[in-house]
Each structure stands twice: as C-alpha cells, then as structure tokens.
Homo-oligomer: A and B are copies of this chain.
Amino acid sequence: MFKAIWEFPENIQEALEIGAGITLHNQYENIDHILIAGMGGSAIGGDVVSVLENESLKVPFQVVRGYTCPSWVNENTLVICSSYSGNTEETLSALDHALEKEAQICGITTGGELAERLHSLHKDVVKIPAGLQPRAALAFSFVPMIKLLEKAGIISSSLDDWIQEAVHTLKEARKTYSKDRDTNPVYHLAERVKERIPVIYADSSTLGVAAVRLKGQLAENSKILAWYNELPELNHNEIVGWENNADIFQRLFVLWLMDRDDHERVQHRQEITRTLLQEAGVDQIAISVPGNLFQERFLHMIHYGDWLSYWCAILHGTDPSPVVKIAHLKQELADRK
C-alpha cells in the first residue's frame, strides 16, 4: 500500500495518457443528465469528478451507489458504469437497469463481466490497468471519466491547465508524508488519532468529498472506524449531539478539513463550532494544505488523507492492504447466488 499511495501522481500521469488515447465509437447526443453507477473506490472517483468539474458540468451529475437507477433515467441520460474489477454486482445490476431504460451507456473498468457485456453491446469501454486495490486506483477512475466526458462533447474541462502543477505538488508533498517520523505532520497526526474514532468535518462546497474519501481510507487501510459530516448542515443538528455521553468524547477526535475557498459564512461557522466543541472538551485539529488552485489543494488533501490512513495502519501494526471482511462478504454473496 506504501507503493500504491506513493504512486498517486504517477498514476495521474498514466491516466492522462489513457485519457488522451480514448477513441469513442458511439455518439452521445442530447445528454440531459449524467449518472455514475459505481461503488466504493469507483464511486468516489465520480464524486471527485463532480468537484473538479463543478463549473463545467451543465447538466445534473449524480453518483449512485446501488443496484438500480433512479426513475428519471431515460434515453437522454448518460450512464457511466465504473467498476475497477468489472465484476461489482451492484454496477452490473445498474447496467441492466440502464439498458431497460434505454439510457446512453459506457464504462470504465479493467475488464471482467462489465467489459465483456459492454463490448458485446457495442458500447464504449475505457480500459484501465489491472493489479491495484480499487481504492488505490483513484486516479484511473476520475481522470479517464473527465476525458471521456470531454471527448463526448459534454464538458469543456480545464484539467490540462492545472493537472501538471498538481502532480508536481503531490510529488513534493509525498517526500514528507511518507516519512515515519514526527517531522512528518501526517505521521504525527496518526499517532494522535489512531486510537480514536476520527470525526471529519468539511465544507460541503469544497472538501466534503475529501472527507468522504478519508473516512473510507481509514476504514479500509487502517481498519478503524471514522465518520464525517458537512458544514453548514451539521450546524442544524449534529452539533447539538455533542452534549450527553460526554465520556465518549475522549475516544473521538475531530479533524477539520479546511480550505481558503470555504464559503465565507462557513468560515465563521467553523470558528464558532470549534469553540463549542472546545467547551465540550473535544480534541480537534484543523488541517489545510497549500496550493494555488483549489483543484490542486483538493487532490493534495486527498493524498494527505491517504497517507494518514496508511500511518494509522502501520502504528496499529496492521497491514493496510488486505480487506478480509470485504473478501469474505464477496465469497458469501457469491455462494448465495
């Protein structure tokens, strides 16, 4: 997993080459909405696209983590089936559903049943390299998706304008984040939070998706629970929950993912909420990363979180790579078909 996280910038570069090589055989016309059908690491790839292409997406873009498509999917919906293995049963089921609804369909995968079925249906398939854990293949999920949308004429992306600078930033940052010593702020933070449940808070309009990603990485790599919520919504309910059962708070640790592009009023909310949590005796830390463009800082924060999950695993003496419970689930589910 060290190597997989380390190679995130190289993966982005390789994914850019794959993206440049995409040749679509079908035409995508009158697209009124886009649906990403995917789970886990593939779904978060769709979420990343929704953030990076926030300005360029001129039609509703929704990521669906489940077996079916929403009722409004029709022949003017582009459904992108994204499954790293190509054998994710939810995604294959969503494909069936999308076919029934006569949606325009394509896919991103390493192969598997998804590739086979899409090929036999003469649908476009973007092939990505096999051999990674799905969660470590994030670059191969979001970069080709952006390029695919661009080549289909659906978005006009600015990715090429800033991605090389982001790659450079990641290559610099990993030199520090990969060190197992206290001068590495990520390692130091892992020492503080590894025996807690991290509660990750972020502005829904900026780093919310980085919070979702971090929560997932802490589960899969560190094998620890984590939760997340977003501002401003959490100010309308969850904040009041920090009152009773206060003895549990010492086992929680609030991680604030903050960005200078956070909404001005959300910045006030962060300040007031942090004071309220301090009064409740909650340990918390604010994390922000440097960078010129928001997109660059967003990918940087994802990389920061990936390393945090790595170090929490190592400090627990846990191998971050295997996900035994998921393997067990898949086996059990296969036996019940």
Contacts and interface: CB of A to CB of B under 8 A. Distances in A.
Interface in A88-109: 89-90, 93
A39 B326 contact: no
A252 B240 CA distance: 18
A196 B251 CA distance: 12
Which interface residue of A57, A93, A243, A263 has the most chain B CB atoms within 10 A?
A: A243
B325 A244 contact: no
A73 B22 CA distance: 30
Interface in A196-227: 196-197, 204-205, 215-216, 218-220, 222-227
Nearest to A242: B225
Main secondary structure of the interface of A (DSSP, over half): mixed
A194 B54 CA distance: 41
A205 B205 CA distance: 25
Contacts of A65: 204, 230, 232-233
A54 to B, nearest CB: 6
B72 A59 contact: yes
Contact of A248 (B71, B216, B242, B251): B251
B245 A224 contact: yes
Interface residues of A, number: 79
A58 B40 contact: no
A72 B89 contact: no
A183 interface: no
Nearest to A238: B219
A62 interface: yes
A276 B58 contact: no
A244 B57 contact: no
A11 B329 CA distance: 43
A138 interface: no
A7 interface: no
A37 interface: no
A241 B225 contact: yes
A238 B222 CA distance: 11
A284 to B, nearest CB: 14
Given A43-B233, A272-B332, 5 more contacts: A57-B71, A223-B240, A235-B329, A240-B325, A240-B326
18 contacts: A40-B236, A56-B71, A57-B70, A57-B71, A62-B62, A65-B233, A67-B265, A219-B238, A224-B243, A224-B245, A225-B241, A242-B325, A243-B318, A248-B251, A265-B333, A268-B336, A272-B332, A276-B325
